[in-house]
Amino acid sequence: MFLELTDNIILKDCFETVGKIIDEIILECDSEGMRLRALDRSHITFVEMDLKGSLFDEYKCEKPEKIVVDSTELTKILKRCNSKDILRLETDDSYLILKFEGDSSRTFKLALIDNEYESAVPPSIEHPVSVPIPTNILEEILKDMELFGETLSFTVDEDYLICNGTSELGDSETKYLHGEHVSEVVRSVFNIAKIKDMLTAKKLSKLVTLKLGNDMPLIMNFNISNGEGKLEFLLAPRLEMDE
């Protein structure tokens, strides 16, 4: 496998975000592109990433490959990639090789990990409500909600996405006029820290789509480069009895 990417923020943000959730990056690559599907150890968050070959300036994968590396180590290397560097990735039998071409030429080799486990299968869930929201607005909502606890509730009615944070010390509420057709009112409660981890990918898209239902998992979808890629998370809800 070989790829070259001038807009390196795409891979940097994808892998940094995924690395906050799972311990190992398990990529399945073929001639169409690269995919990742994984469930975190606590079985609370499912991660799905799809990057088409056409997203990259150059992409080659003559035969299907499975690439497994430590997510923390990969993130540390990618943080050394400057914004103006051209990022090149390739593999040999033992390493994922990362090359940064800019004012200087730098090469890093990260050992591949033997992993015989199959990628997780994404659950099939139909959500009754889908609401796009600017990532910067959602980021500010999370900052407001965590003033009064570790969880927030999302309620969607025909006009608003309503976010509430509550504790013994106080509460906060934010209403966002969503402008979508909503056929039913839904409400679910989630862990704020988990959503903040997923929102690390905020540079990938100015909008993030939230898919919700009553006490259903939250889906957060980042559309990358007009559909050339996606990064999507599924987060289990916090039931009221868990509060």
**Please, what sign has the CA dihedral across residues 134, 135, 138, 140?**
negative
CA pair distance 174, 152, nearest whole angstrom = 11
Residue 209 and residue 143 in one domain: yes
Is 44 part of any domain?
A: no
The C-alpha torsion from 112 through 114 and 118 to 122, rounded to 10°, is -40
Residue 160 and residue 84 in one domain: no
For residue 107, pLDDT over 90 is answered with yes
pLDDT above 90 covers what percent of the chain? 89
Contact 65, 91 (CB under 8 A): yes
Among 63, 81, 111, where does a domain finish? 111
Residue 141 and residue 229 in one domain: yes
CA pair distance 34, 66, nearest whole angstrom = 10
Query: Span 85-104, mean pLDDT?
Result: 96
- Looking at residue 54, its pLDDT comes to 96
Is 118 part of any domain?
A: no
Residue 34 and residue 82 in one domain: yes
Give the chain's mean pLDDT: 94
Is 236 part of any domain?
A: yes
Residue 77 and residue 166 in one domain: no
Is 124 part of any domain?
A: no
pLDDT for 149-190, tens place per residue? 899 999 999 999 999 998 888 999 999 999 999 999 999 999
- Looking at residue 123, its pLDDT comes to 80
pLDDT for 190-220, tens place per residue? 999 999 999 999 999 999 999 999 999 999 9
For residue 243, pLDDT over 60 is answered with no
pLDDT for 58-68, tens place per residue? 999 999 999 99
Number of domains in the chain: 2
pLDDT above 70 covers what percent of the chain? 98
For residue 108, pLDDT over 70 is answered with yes
Query: What is the 8-class DSSP label of residue 134?
Result: E
pLDDT for 25-56, tens place per residue? 999 999 999 999 999 989 999 999 999 999 99
Residue 6 and residue 89 in one domain: yes
Residue 59 and residue 137 in one domain: no
Grade residue 122 by pLDDT with cuts at 50, 70 and 90: confident
- Looking at residue 200, its pLDDT comes to 96
Grade residue 242 by pLDDT with cuts at 50, 70 and 90: low
Is 122 part of any domain?
A: no
Is 120 part of any domain?
A: no
Q: Which domain holds residue 82?
A: 2-39+50-111
Is 119 part of any domain?
A: no
Please, what is the angle between helix 71-78 and helix 9-19, to 10°? 150
Query: Span 73-96, mean pLDDT?
Result: 96
Residue 77 and residue 175 in one domain: no
For residue 239, pLDDT over 90 is answered with no
Q: What is the CATH number of the domain that holds 141?
A: 3.70.10.10
Is 45 part of any domain?
A: no
Residue 10 and residue 101 in one domain: yes
Residue 147 and residue 57 in one domain: no
- Looking at residue 126, its pLDDT comes to 93
Grade residue 117 by pLDDT with cuts at 50, 70 and 90: confident
